[in-house]
Amino acid sequence: MQASYSVALTAIVVVFIAVGIIFIVLGVLGKFRASGISLLNGKYGGIIGGIVLIALALGLFFVYYAPSTITVGSGYVNVQFGGFSPNLPFIPFISGNKNVTTSEIANAFVGQIGSGDFSLDKQSGLNLGDVNIGVYTLGNGATAYVASNNSTDLIIQLNNGQYLIIGTSNTSALATSFSQNVYQLKSP
């Protein structure tokens, strides 16, 4: 699963990189001035500011475009989160995974996210349009690990009350494979 191309995100990344390069050049020339932040004035402030902007731009690009991989096997589903770690959500730009076995599942069904019990309130991760990758609080108060680029998703309720929500451009095929190999789908 990979996010679709975003003109707005690409423009933001290009602007951040361009401004970062300008900051670095002004820093090297000793002409960088950040009004109100005397610590950033001068050579090192421009260089540091430019490097930070470029790193943020590349990180944003990586988090958005890094593919998340969903693997359905006999008795398990594994999600490799591109550019996000559900285990280390406070550290940006680190990929991670979430593995769920049949014995951990309380219920599974195909449903719509984005409203009601399945509205998404991001704790950490990325949400841009239909792309949602990270840890979210659902409308019902539960924690959900989400890797989706679609509003129709496979919603897996775990025995511990948490959810794993996954969706692709072909959620129907994902749900069929999951139902055959991991857990029989039920009604919501």
Q: Residue 166: which of 136, 187, 123, 139 has the closest Cα?
A: 136
**Domain contains 133:** yes
Q: Which residues form the domain of 88?
A: 69-181
Contact between 28 and 47 under an 8 Å Cβ cutoff? The reply is yes
Residue 83 and residue 162 in one domain? yes
Domains of the chain: total? 2
Q: 68 φ, ψ to 5°? A: -100, 140
Residue 42 and residue 13 in one domain? yes
**Domain contains 187:** no
Q: Which residues pair with 100 in a beta bridge?
A: 77
**Domain contains 106:** yes
Residue 150 and residue 59 in one domain? no
**Domain contains 150:** yes
**Domain contains 188:** no
Query: pTM (2 decimals)?
Result: 0.69
Contact between 58 and 64 under an 8 Å Cβ cutoff? The reply is no
- pLDDT tens string, the chain, 188 residues long: the values are 445 556 777 888 899 999 989 888 888 887 776 655 555 666 677 888 889 899 888 877 766 666 678 899 999 999 887 666 665 555 555 557 889 999 999 999 999 998 899 999 988 877 777 788 888 999 999 999 998 888 899 999 999 999 999 998 899 999 999 999 999 998 76
**Domain contains 60:** yes
DSSP one-letter string for 82-107: TT--SSSTTSTT--EEEEEEGGGEEE
**Domain contains 186:** no
Boundary (domain end) residue, out of 33, 65, 97: 65
Residue 172 and residue 116 in one domain? yes
Strand stretches in 23-150, DSSP E: 69-73, 76-81, 96-101, 105-112, 120-128, 131-138, 143-148
